[in-house]
Amino acid sequence: MSSPSGRSEAGARLVNEEETPRPDRGLLIDLQGGALVPSRLSAYRAGFTAVVVTVSLPHVGFDQTLRDMYQYYTYFEGLRNELLHVLHSADIAAARERNQLAVLFGLQGAGAIRDVPTLTILHKLGLRVLALTYNERSPHGDGCMEMEDRGLTLLGKEFVRELNRLGIVLDLSHASKRTAMQAMEVATAPPIYSHSNPYSMTPNVRCIDDEQIDAVAELGGVVAISCYSPMCYADPGRRPSVEEYLDRVDYVVDRVGIDHVAIGSDLHEGFTIGTPIMWRATTKRRYPEMVGQFDHHNIYAEGFSSHTEIGNVLDGLQKRGYPKPNIEKFAGGNALRVLQNCFEKGSSEASAA
């Protein structure tokens, strides 16, 4: 049922038309935009063009993953004027033309996916970005927090090939170094680190070293920089600032060039697991080696703790002397290039098969 304005009732209720008009920031993509919460839609309000959402939590089973996908389908139906589900790279441009937020399904870890044929089913349902592992060991390879790094498994190698064939972007964030490097040896399409920062600047288990940065750049991929405090800090336990976030952008640009850096915030704004009680009972309790001394109130960098603060990042790059074309590459151009490359390669290979 539509409201007098022509919107669905859900859309009229969840997004107030009297709010400040959505800013036009040009092409703006977050390769790890956390979870979408209809009552906030901060990425939409901030003027993002597209976000990759973590459609389901890493440790849930396959049935729950399908139910979580269904929940997003209800969002697309109820907020059809605000959201567009991305199935093809052209959908991102279409969403921008219509002043919508393009939403791509991603999963942080393939633990719920036990065999290769299931990838085709999930691709049909909209999966477009997949991380092989979360922090732990999986049937596909080792996560970055495992004591012993055994690397990529045979099933993991099969998954990499199938992801490339289907046109699902291979995400190496959370993977151990050996798993990631071996996966890149198999990959035929550009992979990404959707939310990973340089280890040489912040020695956290979730960060990646120079060899990993070099390898993903050589394949045409990107390192998407996260504002997650445990990966951004200069002094342990002290909340980093947006300047320290920008320092990590500088580092990747200086090492491999402007074409291989992007945004990967990992902002889970308003999501249940992101509330203080649940976060402390899950992420902080499970992964103290990763979280360190940080708590829920300072888990993101000051000045970039919400999608609505993206202006601080873009303005900061300008103040550092980045020319407009380079800021545009960081903001979304590089991410779009990788998405288009992977999607189109998958389409051509599927047609040939």
Per-residue pLDDT band at 285 (split at 50, 70, 90):
very high
What is the predicted pLDDT for the residue at 107? Answer: 98
What is the predicted pLDDT for the residue at 274? Answer: 64
What does the pLDDT average to over 136-148? 97
What is the predicted pLDDT for the residue at 346? Answer: 72
What does the pLDDT average to over 275-300? 93
Q: Which residues contact 23 (CB under 8 A, 6 or more apart)?
A: 46, 47
DSSP 14: H
What is the predicted pLDDT for the residue at 21? Answer: 83
- Statement: residue 17 has pLDDT above 50: no
Tokens of 226: 């996260």
What is the predicted pLDDT for the residue at 352? Answer: 63
- Statement: residue 138 has pLDDT above 80: yes
Per-residue pLDDT band at 271 (split at 50, 70, 90):
low
Of the candidates 191, 210, 183, 343, the one whose C-alpha atom is nearest the C-alpha of residue 264 is 191
What is the predicted pLDDT for the residue at 235? Answer: 93
pLDDT tens for residues 206-260?
999 999 999 999 999 999 999 999 999 999 889 999 999 999 999 999 999 999 9
Per-residue pLDDT band at 7 (split at 50, 70, 90):
very low
What does the pLDDT average to over 288-304? 95
Domains along the sequence of the chain with CATH: 27-352 (3.20.20.140)
pLDDT tens for residues 42-92?
999 999 999 999 999 999 999 999 999 999 999 999 999 999 999 999 999
What is the predicted pLDDT for the residue at 9? Answer: 36
Is 223 in contact with 216 (CB distance < 8 Å)?
yes
Is 195 in contact with 290 (CB distance < 8 Å)?
no
Of the candidates 148, 153, 192, the one whose C-alpha atom is nearest the C-alpha of residue 173 is 192
- The pTM for the full model equals 0.93
Tokens of 114: 């036990």
What is the predicted pLDDT for the residue at 12? Answer: 39
Of the candidates 279, 256, 284, 257, the one whose C-alpha atom is nearest the C-alpha of residue 268 is 279
- Statement: residue 11 has pLDDT above 50: no
What is the predicted pLDDT for the residue at 237? Answer: 84
- Statement: residue 340 has pLDDT above 80: yes
CA–CA separation, 48 and 309 (whole Å): 11
What does the pLDDT average to over 128-156? 97
Of the candidates 114, 259, 270, the one whose C-alpha atom is nearest the C-alpha of residue 192 is 259
Mapping DSSP to helix (H, G, I), strand (E, B) and coil, where does residue 165 land? helix
- Statement: residue 347 has pLDDT above 80: no
CA–CA separation, 288 and 54 (whole Å): 22
